[in-house]
Amino acid sequence: MNIILLGAPGAGKGTQAEVICDRLNIPAISTGNIIREALKSGTEMGQKAKSFMDAGALVPDEVVIGIIKERLALSDCENGFILDGFPRTIPQAEALDSMGVKIDKVISIEVSDDKIIKRMSGRRVCEKCGASYHLEYKAPTQEGTCDKCAGTLIQRKDDHPDTVKARLDVFHTETEPLKSYYEKQGKLSLVEGQEKVEDTTALLLKQLEA
Ligand code: ADP
Ligand code: ZN
């Protein structure tokens, strides 16, 4: 099954993508994580993306489309994949369609802006493997340490409150129109984001089985 997860920054796409990945045994592909990896290893693409990312703006379409093309060509995508954070604009969705990538389901995780702003302050990510945590909703077993790889948990620069507001604006203008794009294709389902991660997961899995 080829799945797209839509949602505001901080709506829990990444966390849910990891859960579905384990359940369905298909890779979770996060353009944000791929870009952060490129940044860490100092590639030219990473350098180009940095200023956009730090400002809470979107990285140009041609850059992320290139990333996704390469990633979807790898053999682990043969039995399906979950896209987390791609597409984020109409041209990105059109690029997927014109590449001939068939999407089965698009799930939008719905969370209000107020809640997003509250949530983001507690968000932490693993410096090493990119796994996401939350001080309140998804705390690691040991404070400050990743459960998966024992890496150090840090707060992302773009999770600063001012940047979060900028990212929410971008979400509403650039990304939200994708809901009607996929609704027209008959692929869209909405899942109301819950306080507890497990509760959102349960709703999401129900949608995937439907
Ligand atoms: P979140 O979902 O919390 O906003 P991501 O890790 O998905 O975080 O993305 C972080 C940043 O990476 C975005 O703010 C943007 O700058 C860049 N980015 C990730 N995916 C895309 C994309 N599909 N198009 C453009 N920029 C992207
Ligand atoms: Zn880790």
Q: Is 35 in the pocket of ligand 1 (CB under 6 A)?
A: yes
- Catalytic, out of 36, 71, 88, 124: 88
Q: What is the CA radius of gyration of the chain?
A: 16
Q: Is 59 in the pocket of ligand 1 (CB under 6 A)?
A: yes
Q: Which ligand is nearest to the CA of 156?
A: 1
Residue type, 105: K
Q: Please report the domains of the chain, with CATH numbers, ordered by start residue.
A: 2-26+79-209 (3.40.50.300)
Q: How far is CA 135 from CA 15, 79, 120, 125, 143, in A?
A: 14, 34, 10, 11, 9
Kindly report, residue by residue over 142-189, the tens digit of the pLDDT: 999 999 999 999 998 888 888 898 999 999 999 999 999 999 999 999
Pairing of strands 2-7, 81-84: parallel
What is the residue-level pLDDT of the chain in tens, covering all 210 positions? 999 999 999 899 999 999 999 999 999 999 999 999 998 898 888 888 988 988 889 999 999 999 999 999 999 999 999 999 999 999 999 999 999 999 999 999 999 999 998 888 899 999 999 999 999 888 999 999 999 999 999 998 888 888 898 999 999 999 999 999 999 999 999 999 998 889 999 999 999 987
Say how far apart CA 190 and CA 207 lie, in whole Å. 9
